[in-house]
Amino acid sequence: MFLNIGFTDEWWYKKHGIRFDRAAFMDPLLKAAQQDKMNGVMRGLFDKWRFLTFPAASVEPFGHRYTPAMFGAPIRYQIDQPPWAQTIKLEKDVIMSMEPVTEAELSEHPCVKEIIRQCEVMKKAGRPASAQQNFGGVMNTAIYLRGDSLFYDFYDEPEMIRKLFGLIVDMILTSHEYFCKIDGHLSPIGIGNCSVAMLSPEIYTEFVRPFDMRIMEYARERGISFGIHQDSFLDPFIEAYRAFDYAAAFDIGADTDVARFRRAFPEQTVNVCFYASTLSGHSAEGLYDFMAETAQKGGPLDRIGFTVTDIDIDVPMEKIIGVCDAYAYLKDKEEREAV
């Protein structure tokens, strides 16, 4: 069993002065120093519960918007918010004339050159660095490339939308393979499906799933781990997701029927994601009951965990401590049962 705790960028800025402006993302050593400071804060807050991992600073100059940036979406920065992509609207004739990206083209792209530059800076300073990026997913990227028109495209321009989705997958897979070469080793790959919740299961299955499946099959061919992130209500998509027989792990929203999900995916690791609103709506005892019931339904305990994310400055610390205490009790139970 595992637990992840994540605060908002606003929390980090207002509480500890951690910056998220453009300078922080373009200077990898500044970002590394800030990550060291963040790890120290987390250690001071949570070390007694023994669930923390302390990540090295990632080389992600575009945050989690690498793939939109590769298609030309401008990336905007704020001092207390994560980087976001400004929506562009690629026209039909542009999309239909585009060809899949090649490795040679990828290596000359300014975004990729910036990533490689930052990795070299980190390595010269004796810091670990990986070129791998958070690629998002097909839908998560397409929204930035078509805007609200995307939701009409499923009905009005099905040929175009399939072409766009194919181009996005080509960009993701070519990038992943290239960055594996840069790093000198294979890395896991996953898809971010946060925005899939805005679709019907039928639209997802017909239009999006075939392209998500391409990413899974790429992972299967290479023997690397593959997972799906959809931190929202997943019940409508459980049947559609059954096709992902190679998936090792799923992130799911806390309001998902965890027992039903576990019946569909008995072997996979399940990460139950919940937000500040869940903390606000429960007492400390209520949080324990919620986590214990969820763990019981989604167990065994060695294949389930929790992520509490987007904790903002208004969430009382005692609520977060309540989550940690609940985790500690359940973790102790897991270890006793394993003996």
d(CA 318, CA 108): 50
Question: pTM, whole model, 2 decimals?
Answer: 0.95
List helix spans (H) across the chain.
9-16, 22-26, 28-46, 66-70, 92-97, 103-107, 110-124, 138-146, 149-156, 158-183, 201-203, 209-222, 238-241, 258-264, 276-280, 284-298, 317-338
Q: What is the pLDDT along the chain (339 residues), one digit of tens a residue?
A: 899 999 999 999 999 999 999 999 999 999 999 999 999 999 999 988 878 777 777 899 999 999 999 999 999 999 999 999 999 999 999 999 999 999 999 999 999 999 999 999 999 999 999 999 999 999 999 999 999 999 999 999 999 999 999 999 999 999 999 999 999 999 999 999 999 999 999 999 999 999 999 999 999 999 999 999 999 999 999 999 999 999 999 999 999 999 999 999 999 999 999 887 788 778 878 888 999 999 999 989 899 999 999 999 998 888 899 899 999 988 888 888 776
Amino acid residing at 46: F
Q: Which domains does the chain possess?
A: 2-338 (3.20.20.210)
Provide CB contacts within 8 A for 168, sequence distance 6+. Answer: 67, 71, 138, 141, 142, 145, 211
As a residue count, the chain comes to 339
